[in-house]
């Protein structure tokens, strides 16, 4: 019984800790910080999309093979 | 005029706010003139009140956005006022209510998610006490089961959660649901509502006599 109670209380403090971490994170402090953070995350994503032509081709090729096998082995 | 203004609130939906508010109002109606104000846009209490009436049932009034106005009207015309609050702070209705009432009851189901959500009410009470320092707030266990280990553990855990816990609780009883289906409170449900009435009576006595 006591263990179950302790587990419940521990689950509360976990929730509160997560909340306080979220509240104190720089991104959560101001709306400006949030939008700045979101803008920088967009920038961070952009170069990923611009992968090297070789890689892009390879990836295109592999998805083409998977999605359209009939183009490679026509009836 | 009023002897007591009691709000029933929790930010968690489905924890038994309307069930407690309805039956609490029915119990208070046996003591004096009582009105149940439905401040929840879902309108559960209002719907219950719109069903077939039997003698002794409390009046139910939907507040709409006029929560403050209706509370002021109710306290000048009735001995007991019960307010069924919405499960959110976004509308501002719960805050307004907590600034006006004497007593707040926060029903909590015996489940961890309900326990976590109920903690938000502690912050809401702290805010309300800046305007209404006399506000007395309590957790009330709903659907408690005598043989359930989790119910027992919840009872012990709630003692450490920032609001006092009422000794009495609402048991897990079908009578509440069956009575609602017929537009009745458990007070008007004959022998089938007897144990539920005993639960509500114990809560009323504890709340009204607790200082």
B113: contact with A, CB 8 A cutoff: no
Q: What is the CATH number of domain B4-208?
A: 3.40.50.300
Average pLDDT over residues B4-32: 95
Beta-bridge partner residues of B38:
B62, B84
> How far does A7 lie from chain B, in Å, by closest CA?
9
DSSP 3-state of A3: helix
B106-123: pLDDT as tens digits: 999 999 999 998 889 999
Average pLDDT over residues B159-169: 94
Confidence at B55, pLDDT banded by 50, 70, 90: confident
Interface touch B112/A8, C-beta < 8 Å:
yes
Average pLDDT over residues A10-21: 68
A32-41, B29-38, B184-193: lowest mean pLDDT where?
A32-41
Domain boundaries, chain B: 4-208
> How far does A20 lie from chain B, in Å, by closest CA?
13
* Chain B residues within an 8 Å CB radius of A15: 116, 119
A16: contact with B, CB 8 A cutoff: yes
Determine the pLDDT at residue A31.
42
pLDDT above 70: residue A33: no
pLDDT above 70: residue B79: yes
A4: contact with B, CB 8 A cutoff: yes
Higher pLDDT, B1 or A53: B1
Q: In this complex, how many residue pairs, one in chain A and one in chain B, have their CB atoms less than 8 Å apart?
A: 31
Average pLDDT over residues B75-102: 95
B32-48: pLDDT as tens digits: 999 999 999 999 999 98
CA–CA separation, B10 and B115 (whole Å): 11
Note the ipTM here: 0.74
CA–CA separation, B145 and A47 (whole Å): 58
Nearest chain B residue to A13, by CA: B116
The structure's pTM equals 0.78
Average pLDDT over residues A49-56: 46
């Amino acid at each position: 019984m006591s263990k179950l109670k302790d587990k419940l209380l521990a689950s509360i403090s976990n929730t509160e800790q997560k909340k306080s971490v979220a509240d104190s994170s720089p991104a959560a402090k101001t709306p400006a910080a949030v939008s700045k953070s979101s803008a920088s995350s967009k920038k961070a994503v952009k170069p990923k999309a611009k992968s090297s032509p070789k890689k892009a081709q390879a990836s295109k090729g592999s998805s083409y093979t998977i999605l359209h096998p009939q183009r490679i082995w026509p009836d | 005029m009023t002897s007591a203004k009691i709000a029933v609130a929790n930010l968690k939906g489905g924890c038994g706010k309307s069930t407690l508010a309805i039956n609490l109002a029915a119990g208070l109606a046996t003591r004096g003139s009582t009105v149940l104000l439905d401040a929840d846009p879902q309108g559960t209490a209002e719907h219950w009140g719109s069903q077939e009436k039997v003698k002794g049932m409390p009046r139910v009034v939907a507040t709409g956005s006029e929560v403050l106005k209706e509370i002021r009207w109710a306290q000048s015309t009735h001995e007991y006022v019960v307010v069924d609050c919405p499960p959110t702070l976004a509308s501002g209705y719960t805050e307004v209510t907590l600034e006006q009432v004497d007593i707040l009851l926060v029903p909590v189901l015996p489940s961890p998610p309900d326990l976590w959500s109920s903690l938000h009410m502690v912050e809401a009470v702290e805010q309300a006490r800046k305007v209404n320092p006399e506000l007395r707030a309590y957790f009330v266990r709903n659907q408690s089961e005598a043989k359930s280990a989790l119910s027992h553990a919840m009872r012990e855990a709630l003692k450490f959660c920032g609001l006092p816990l009422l000794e009495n609780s609402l048991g897990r009883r079908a009578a509440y649901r069956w009575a609602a289906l017929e537009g009745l409170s458990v007070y008007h449900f004959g022998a089938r509502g007897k144990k539920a009435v005993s639960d509500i009576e114990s809560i009323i006595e504890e709340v009204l006599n607790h200082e």
